Protein backbone atom coordinates (compact mmCIF):
# COMPACT_ATOMS: atom_id res chain seq x y z
CA UNK A 1 0.00 0.00 0.00
CA UNK A 2 2.87 2.37 0.79
CA UNK A 3 4.57 1.49 -2.49
CA UNK A 4 1.36 2.15 -4.44
CA UNK A 5 0.82 5.48 -2.68
CA UNK A 6 4.36 6.64 -3.38
CA UNK A 7 4.13 5.61 -7.04
CA UNK A 8 0.87 7.51 -7.53
CA UNK A 9 2.21 10.44 -5.55
CA UNK A 10 5.04 11.01 -8.01
CA UNK A 11 2.53 11.69 -10.75
CA UNK A 12 0.39 13.92 -8.56
CA UNK A 13 3.38 15.99 -7.51
CA UNK A 14 4.36 16.41 -11.16
CA UNK A 15 0.82 17.41 -12.16
CA UNK A 16 0.53 19.79 -9.20
CA UNK A 17 3.50 21.67 -10.60
CA UNK A 18 1.58 22.18 -13.83
CA UNK A 19 -1.86 22.64 -12.34
CA UNK A 20 -2.78 25.42 -14.79
CA UNK A 21 -2.48 23.04 -17.72
CA UNK A 22 -4.67 20.27 -16.35
CA UNK A 23 -7.81 19.42 -18.24
CA UNK A 24 -10.72 19.61 -15.84
CA UNK A 25 -14.21 18.19 -16.16
CA UNK A 26 -17.03 19.05 -13.79
CA UNK A 27 -18.49 15.98 -12.06
CA UNK A 28 -20.97 17.90 -9.96
CA UNK A 29 -21.40 21.17 -8.06
CA UNK A 30 -18.18 21.93 -6.24
CA UNK A 31 -16.77 18.49 -7.08
CA UNK A 32 -14.02 18.52 -9.69
CA UNK A 33 -12.22 15.57 -11.20
CA UNK A 34 -8.95 15.93 -13.03
CA UNK A 35 -6.80 13.87 -15.32
CA UNK A 36 -4.35 13.71 -12.43
CA UNK A 37 -7.00 12.07 -10.25
CA UNK A 38 -7.67 9.35 -12.84
CA UNK A 39 -4.00 8.72 -13.49
CA UNK A 40 -3.25 8.36 -9.78
CA UNK A 41 -6.12 5.90 -9.39
CA UNK A 42 -4.86 3.85 -12.34
CA UNK A 43 -1.38 3.62 -10.80
CA UNK A 44 -2.78 2.54 -7.41
CA UNK A 45 -5.11 0.00 -8.98
CA UNK A 46 -2.35 -1.54 -11.10
CA UNK A 47 0.19 -1.64 -8.25
CA UNK A 48 -2.20 -3.20 -5.76
CA UNK A 49 -3.66 -5.64 -8.30
CA UNK A 50 -0.18 -6.97 -9.01
CA UNK A 51 0.69 -7.21 -5.33
CA UNK A 52 -2.63 -8.74 -4.22
CA UNK A 53 -4.35 -10.38 -7.20
CA UNK A 54 -7.97 -11.16 -6.54
CA UNK A 55 -8.59 -8.42 -3.96
CA UNK A 56 -11.62 -6.22 -4.61
CA UNK A 57 -11.65 -2.42 -4.69
CA UNK A 58 -13.88 0.48 -3.72
CA UNK A 59 -12.51 3.51 -5.57
CA UNK A 60 -13.69 7.08 -5.93
CA UNK A 61 -13.60 7.07 -9.74
CA UNK A 62 -14.01 3.39 -10.71
CA UNK A 63 -16.56 2.58 -8.03
CA UNK A 64 -16.81 -1.02 -6.80
CA UNK A 65 -14.54 -3.54 -8.50
CA UNK A 66 -15.38 -7.09 -7.45
CA UNK A 67 -12.47 -9.43 -6.82
CA UNK A 68 -12.25 -13.21 -6.72
CA UNK A 69 -11.14 -12.91 -3.08
CA UNK A 70 -14.36 -11.86 -1.35
CA UNK A 71 -12.72 -11.40 2.05
CA UNK A 72 -10.31 -8.59 1.13
CA UNK A 73 -10.70 -5.24 -0.59
CA UNK A 74 -8.94 -1.92 -0.84
CA UNK A 75 -10.80 1.38 -0.31
CA UNK A 76 -9.03 4.08 -2.29
CA UNK A 77 -9.13 7.84 -2.71
CA UNK A 78 -6.39 8.73 -5.21
CA UNK A 79 -6.66 12.45 -4.46
CA UNK A 80 -8.29 13.60 -1.25
CA UNK A 81 -8.40 17.37 -1.31
CA UNK A 82 -9.06 17.77 -5.03
CA UNK A 83 -10.31 21.33 -4.64
CA UNK A 84 -7.10 22.30 -2.83
CA UNK A 85 -5.11 20.63 -5.63
CA UNK A 86 -7.00 22.53 -8.32
CA UNK A 87 -6.43 25.86 -6.59
CA UNK A 88 -2.72 25.29 -6.10
CA UNK A 89 -3.06 24.76 -2.34
CA UNK A 90 -0.42 22.20 -1.27
CA UNK A 91 -2.62 20.22 1.12
CA UNK A 92 -3.93 16.97 -0.34
CA UNK A 93 -3.31 13.27 0.09
CA UNK A 94 -3.65 9.74 -1.19
CA UNK A 95 -5.72 7.49 1.06
CA UNK A 96 -5.69 3.67 0.88
CA UNK A 97 -7.60 1.52 3.34
CA UNK A 98 -7.63 -2.27 3.55
CA UNK A 99 -10.77 -4.07 4.66
CA UNK A 100 -10.60 -7.75 5.67
CA UNK A 101 -13.75 -9.79 6.31
CA UNK A 102 -15.78 -6.62 6.71
CA UNK A 103 -13.41 -5.00 9.22
CA UNK A 104 -10.95 -2.20 8.54
CA UNK A 105 -7.50 -3.75 8.89
CA UNK A 106 -4.88 -1.29 7.62
CA UNK A 107 -4.53 2.23 6.30
CA UNK A 108 -2.07 4.48 4.50
CA UNK A 109 -2.39 8.25 4.11
CA UNK A 110 0.30 9.89 2.00
CA UNK A 111 0.78 13.65 2.27
CA UNK A 112 2.19 14.08 -1.21
CA UNK A 113 3.74 17.54 -0.95
CA UNK A 114 5.32 17.06 2.47
CA UNK A 115 6.34 13.49 1.63
CA UNK A 116 4.86 12.13 4.88
CA UNK A 117 3.56 8.56 5.01
CA UNK A 118 1.08 7.83 7.79
CA UNK A 119 0.37 4.13 8.15
CA UNK A 120 -1.33 1.76 10.54
CA UNK A 121 -2.18 -1.91 10.80
CA UNK A 122 -4.63 -3.44 13.20
CA UNK A 123 -2.80 -4.48 16.37
CA UNK A 124 0.49 -2.92 15.25
CA UNK A 125 -0.02 0.76 16.06
CA UNK A 126 -0.08 3.91 13.96
CA UNK A 127 3.06 5.49 12.55
CA UNK A 128 4.42 8.52 10.72
CA UNK A 129 7.25 6.86 8.85
CA UNK A 130 9.07 5.24 11.83
CA UNK A 131 7.60 7.47 14.56
CA UNK A 132 4.88 5.93 16.72
CA UNK A 133 1.72 8.06 16.83
CA UNK A 134 -0.55 8.73 19.79
CA UNK A 135 -3.67 10.86 19.94
CA UNK A 136 -3.56 14.00 22.08
CA UNK A 137 -4.39 13.62 25.76
CA UNK A 138 -6.22 16.89 26.41
CA UNK A 139 -9.35 16.41 28.47
CA UNK A 140 -10.91 19.89 28.39
CA UNK A 141 -12.81 21.18 25.38
CA UNK A 142 -11.54 24.66 26.17
CA UNK A 143 -7.99 23.44 25.43
CA UNK A 144 -8.93 21.56 22.26
CA UNK A 145 -8.43 22.39 18.59
CA UNK A 146 -10.91 20.54 16.37
CA UNK A 147 -11.08 20.08 12.61
CA UNK A 148 -14.13 19.73 10.41
CA UNK A 149 -15.37 20.02 6.83
CA UNK A 150 -18.01 22.43 5.58
CA UNK A 151 -20.99 21.90 3.29
CA UNK A 152 -20.74 23.69 -0.03
CA UNK A 153 -22.78 24.70 -3.06
CA UNK A 154 -25.28 22.03 -4.10
CA UNK A 155 -25.81 20.60 -0.63
CA UNK A 156 -29.31 20.74 0.83
CA UNK A 157 -30.11 23.77 3.01
CA UNK A 158 -30.67 21.43 5.96
CA UNK A 159 -27.02 20.35 5.85
CA UNK A 160 -25.87 23.95 6.00
CA UNK A 161 -28.23 24.71 8.89
CA UNK A 162 -27.01 21.71 10.89
CA UNK A 163 -23.38 22.60 10.28
CA UNK A 164 -23.82 26.19 11.44
CA UNK A 165 -25.62 24.98 14.54
CA UNK A 166 -22.79 22.55 15.32
CA UNK A 167 -20.20 25.24 14.74
CA UNK A 168 -22.03 27.70 16.97
CA UNK A 169 -22.09 25.22 19.84
CA UNK A 170 -18.45 24.16 19.52
CA UNK A 171 -16.76 27.50 18.84
CA UNK A 172 -18.01 28.69 22.23
CA UNK A 173 -16.32 25.78 23.99
CA UNK A 174 -13.02 25.14 22.16
CA UNK A 175 -9.70 26.83 21.51
CA UNK A 176 -10.30 26.75 17.77
CA UNK A 177 -11.87 25.06 14.75
CA UNK A 178 -9.90 24.35 11.57
CA UNK A 179 -11.12 23.54 8.05
CA UNK A 180 -8.25 22.33 5.83
CA UNK A 181 -10.17 20.53 3.08
CA UNK A 182 -8.77 16.97 3.19
CA UNK A 183 -10.52 14.57 5.56
CA UNK A 184 -7.83 11.88 5.27
CA UNK A 185 -5.19 14.33 6.49
CA UNK A 186 -7.51 15.64 9.21
CA UNK A 187 -7.77 12.10 10.57
CA UNK A 188 -4.02 11.57 10.25
CA UNK A 189 -3.52 14.77 12.25
CA UNK A 190 -5.84 13.47 14.96
CA UNK A 191 -3.77 10.27 15.10
CA UNK A 192 -0.61 12.38 15.37
CA UNK A 193 -2.03 14.51 18.21
CA UNK A 194 -2.04 17.70 16.13
CA UNK A 195 -5.81 18.00 16.20
CA UNK A 196 -7.71 16.97 19.32
CA UNK A 197 -10.68 15.85 17.28
CA UNK A 198 -12.38 15.82 13.89
CA UNK A 199 -16.03 15.62 12.92
CA UNK A 200 -17.84 15.75 9.61
CA UNK A 201 -20.98 14.38 7.99
CA UNK A 202 -21.77 12.68 4.68
CA UNK A 203 -18.24 11.63 3.80
CA UNK A 204 -17.50 8.72 1.47
CA UNK A 205 -15.82 5.46 2.56
CA UNK A 206 -12.63 6.31 0.63
CA UNK A 207 -12.36 9.64 2.51
CA UNK A 208 -12.16 8.00 5.93
CA UNK A 209 -11.29 4.27 5.74
CA UNK A 210 -7.52 4.67 6.15
CA UNK A 211 -7.86 7.47 8.68
CA UNK A 212 -10.16 5.41 10.90
CA UNK A 213 -7.46 2.75 11.27
CA UNK A 214 -4.84 5.43 12.01
CA UNK A 215 -6.87 7.02 14.80
CA UNK A 216 -7.87 3.75 16.42
CA UNK A 217 -4.33 2.39 16.33
CA UNK A 218 -3.09 5.67 17.84
CA UNK A 219 -5.34 5.05 20.83
CA UNK A 220 -8.25 7.21 19.73
CA UNK A 221 -11.99 6.78 19.50
CA UNK A 222 -13.86 6.77 16.19
CA UNK A 223 -17.64 6.72 16.25
CA UNK A 224 -20.65 7.46 14.08
CA UNK A 225 -22.32 10.71 15.07
CA UNK A 226 -25.85 9.32 15.24
CA UNK A 227 -25.18 5.66 16.06
CA UNK A 228 -25.18 4.23 12.52
CA UNK A 229 -22.45 2.53 10.48
CA UNK A 230 -19.68 5.00 9.71
CA UNK A 231 -18.73 3.73 6.25
CA UNK A 232 -22.39 3.80 5.18
CA UNK A 233 -23.38 7.21 6.55
CA UNK A 234 -20.03 9.01 6.46
CA UNK A 235 -20.92 10.76 9.73
CA UNK A 236 -17.76 10.60 11.83
CA UNK A 237 -16.26 11.79 15.08
CA UNK A 238 -12.61 10.97 15.80
CA UNK A 239 -10.96 12.09 19.04
CA UNK A 240 -9.64 10.73 22.34
CA UNK A 241 -11.67 8.89 24.96
CA UNK A 242 -11.92 11.91 27.27
CA UNK A 243 -13.24 14.34 24.66
CA UNK A 244 -15.53 11.96 22.76
CA UNK A 245 -18.55 12.21 25.10
CA UNK A 246 -18.13 15.98 25.45
CA UNK A 247 -17.99 16.64 21.70
CA UNK A 248 -20.82 14.16 21.08
CA UNK A 249 -23.01 15.96 23.59
CA UNK A 250 -22.39 19.33 21.96
CA UNK A 251 -23.16 17.96 18.50
CA UNK A 252 -26.35 16.28 19.77
CA UNK A 253 -27.47 19.52 21.36
CA UNK A 254 -26.77 21.40 18.14
CA UNK A 255 -28.91 18.94 16.18
CA UNK A 256 -31.75 19.13 18.72
CA UNK A 257 -31.94 22.91 18.35
CA UNK A 258 -32.89 22.73 14.68
CA UNK A 259 -36.53 23.14 13.67
CA UNK A 260 -38.27 19.77 13.40
- Measured CA to CA, the distance from residue 148 to residue 182 in angstroms comes to 9
For 25, phi and psi rounded to 5 degrees?
-115, 150
pLDDT at 32 over 60: no
Quick check: 152 pLDDT over 50? yes
Mean model confidence pLDDT for the chain = 93
Fold of 141-256: D-Maltodextrin-Binding Protein; domain 2 (3.40.190)
In the chain, where are the structural domains located?
Answer: 2-132, 141-256
Exposed, middle or buried by CB within 10 Å (0-12, 13-18, 19+), for 190? Answer: buried
Q: Whole-angstrom Cα distance, residue 126 to residue 213?
A: 8
In angstroms, the CA 214 to CA 106 distance is: 8
Report CA-CA distances (Å) from 161 to 154, 179, 225, 258: 14, 17, 16, 8
Compute how many other C-beta atoms are within 10 angstroms of the C-beta atom of residue 55. Answer: 20
pLDDT score, position 29: 41
Q: What's the pLDDT at 30?
A: 42
Note the pTM of the prediction, 2 decimals.
0.94
CB 136 within 8 A of CB 126: no
Across 50-54, 73-77, 158-162, 194-198, least confident range: 158-162
Q: What is the pLDDT of residues 65-91, one digit of tens each?
A: 999 999 999 999 999 999 899 888 999
pLDDT score at 253: 95
- Please give the class, per CATH, of domain 2-132: alpha beta
Identify the CA nearest to 92 among candidates 106, 77, 104, 107: 77
Instruction: Look at 258 and 197; give whichever has higher pLDDT.
Output: 197
Amino acid sequence: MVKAARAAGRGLARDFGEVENLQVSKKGPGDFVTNADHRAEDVIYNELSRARPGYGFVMEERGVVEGTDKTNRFIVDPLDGTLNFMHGIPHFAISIGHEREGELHAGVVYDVIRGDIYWAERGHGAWLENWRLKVATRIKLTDAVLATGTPYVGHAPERHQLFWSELAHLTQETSGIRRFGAAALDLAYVAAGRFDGFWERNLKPWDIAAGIVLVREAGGIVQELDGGEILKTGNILATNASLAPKISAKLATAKSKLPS
